Amino acid sequence: MALFGTFHYIGSIVCHIHTIFLFRSGILDRINGSNYQGSIFSFIVTNIILTAHRLLYTVFPLKARQILSKKILKFCIALIVAFYITYVSLTLTPLAAVVYCPSQFLFYFERRPLSYFIAKMNKMADFAVGVVNIAIYTIMFGTLFLKGAITFKKNHEIRMTLQLRIYVRYPRAL
């Protein structure tokens, strides 16, 4: 996530400089848009994979290490990086485009053959984080509560529950 955070941060700095000076560059607008959207999608995919990882360690604490071997974890990381590279490459081709508009400080999808698919993917990804996190963390808390590992009577357990609730409700704010 730090890698995509760095890409996102560098892209944001370039966007701010681009907005301040209002210079026209179609290529830079497309690169910024592709980087921004690719970073956001990579955050979402990483978040979903990490949530599944946490669920496996909560539900199967003794077998999780065998289920999630180093090869599988490396494969997941490679899959996320490949997704980012594929998405950015796809949106830089004539098939699809995410473009940054410096005069209005927003990103938009240009009309291209795959723009409808990319826009739908964007909407689904926005809802996927909330739905997956709420469902998985509810299962995790239920499992921990039924096992007696969490009782909600101690201060640190209540604090952890509140922090997790804020994390699930407002993932982009954090």
Q: What is the pLDDT of residue 81?
A: 93
- What are the sequence ranges of the domains in the chain? 2-122
Question: For position 28, what pLDDT does the model report?
Answer: 82
- Residues contacting 59, CB < 8 A, separation 6+: 139, 140, 143
109, 98 Cβ separation under 8 angstroms: yes
pTM of the model: 0.77
pLDDT of residue 63: 86
**Residue type (1 letter), 118:** I
Answer whether 91's CB lies under 8 Å from 97's CB.
yes
| Per-residue confidence (pLDDT) for residue 152, from 0 to 100 | 64
> Mean pLDDT of successive 10-residue segments in the chain (174 residues)?
79 80 80 87 88 87 86 93 93 87 80 88 84 84 79 68 69 54
What pLDDT score does 79 carry? 94
Model pLDDT, residue 155: 66
What are the backbone angles phi and psi of residue 108, rounded to the nearest 5°?
Answer: -145, 160
What is the reported pLDDT for 163? 72
